[in-house]
Amino acid sequence: MSGAMTMKENDNAQIGQATMGSLAGLKVIDVSRVLGAPYCTQILADHGAEVIKIEPPQGDETRGWGPPFLGDAASYFLGLNRNKKGMAVDFSQPAGREVLLHLLEDADVFVENFKVGTLEKWGIGQEMLSERFPKLVHCRVSGFGADGPYGGRPGYDAAIQALSGIMSVNGELGGDALRVGLPVVDMVTGLNAAIGVLLALQERNKSGKGQFVEAALYDCGISLLHPHLPNYYLNGKVAKPSGNAHPNISPYDTFATKTGALFLAVGNNRQFMTLCKILDLSDVAEDARFANNAERNKNRDALKEKLEAALAGHECAVIAETLITSGVPCGAVRSIDEVVNDPHTIARGMIVDIEDYRGTGSPVKLSRTPASYRRKPPAFAQHTDELMAQAGLDPQEFADVLPRKTTS
């Protein structure tokens, strides 16, 4: 059987590829904190990159964003820093910046979210980095970017939700603007940062040169305003909060049932006709007011009344299963514990357990080189000695800039 792998050998090769991940061999220096940028680097780490997370002497502030806590870290920190090695360095001192430059010598990617101008103040701005490390991809996550009227200002998710208009379209119909109940701007900024890094690495394969990648929370918040911005470009109308209802599609809203709220996401006439058939609403199916999406949008209040009257006699979970298996997109409105305990959540690999750590799995599924979960988030400065040795540096020589435990 020379020249061909046995089934066992092929299986072993597949396992090896899966363990490495698609970004195996990539080295990332991550000096970022809080959410957007650490989320970016966790994505890279899950897919095989070696990510070295360097915290300031006081630690990433999200270590204290609890309870709950596991060891020295709050759940907030644990959710963003899996698969990383950790050390701490005081960059405010020249010796600390020297350590950083040593670590960057063989790095592919540098991710940071310092306030704009901080690196320049320290003498290690983008111009200097690009000259010294021409192949380095330098990714900055910031609040507003470096230029424009707001350039250099700090940004946090909720403030950007307010400024970018997201809050203005979120909330109950006729109610006040409301923050989306998760850090959607931070997380999409992290996603865009990861995409930007991968785009720059792909281009580097052709040019041999790195480049600067910027992902600003403000830009990313604005990018999320679909379909509200396209609607405004076309009709000039300013969107307001509309509860769970969609501004362009009907029925696309929550509807009361006998036992709970059901979300219907009916996107075309075929789905609508199936819905009417299952709910025994032949009169609705034949009503000209509901003949197509445009008409249903005009008459959404009357349609909701008829649908809720028909759903009032149905158990939410039962009718949801009947509808979805018949081709009508829908879902019962569920709590967090119900999502975690759903067999499909488990089957999709969305729950990760490493020793005493539990986290959320990667939503990106690759057939040959899937994400892997190799190490739980690091304790503060856990790998300092190991990483210094790899860089050929004596930890004792740099002891003054290598904090070993948080000061809080």
Residue 121, Cβ density class (10 Å: 0-12 exposed, 13-18 middle, ≥19 buried): exposed
Instruction: Decide if 310 is inside a domain.
Output: yes
**Do residue 312 and residue 385 come from a single domain?**
no
Are 110 and 207 part of one and the same domain? yes
What is the C-alpha separation between 271 and 265, in angstroms, rounded? 9
Q: In this predicted model, what pLDDT tens digit does every residue of 221-280 receive, in sequence order?
A: 999 999 999 999 999 999 999 999 999 999 999 999 999 999 999 999 999 999 999 999
Is 1 part of a structural domain of the chain?
no
Assess whether 69 and 176 both reside in one domain.
Answer: yes
Q: Are 30 and 102 in a shared domain?
A: yes
The residues, any chain, with a CB within 8 Å of residue 392's CB and separated by 6 or more, are: 102
Say if residue 296 is in the same domain as residue 380. Answer: no
pLDDT value at 171 more than 90: yes
Q: Is 75 in the same domain as 164? A: yes
Confidence check: pLDDT of 407 > 50: no
Same domain, yes or no: 152 and 284:
no
292 pLDDT above the threshold of 80: yes
6, amino acid identity: T
Taking the whole predicted model, whether its pTM rises above 0.85 is answered as yes
Q: How many domains does the chain have?
A: 2
Quick: pLDDT tens for 130-142. 999 999 999 999 9
Amino acid letter, 32 = S
Q: Is 186 a catalytic residue?
A: yes
**In the chain, what percentage of residues exceed pLDDT 70?**
95
CATH number at residue 387: 3.40.50.10540
Q: Distance (Å, rounded) from C-alpha 240 to C-alpha 238?
A: 7
Identify the band that residue 42 occupies on the pLDDT scale cut at 50, 70 and 90: very high
Spot the catalytic one: 186, 253, 287, 353: 186
User: Residue 128 is encoded by which pair of tokens?
Assistant: 């200097």
Tell me what pLDDT residue 16 has. Answer: 52
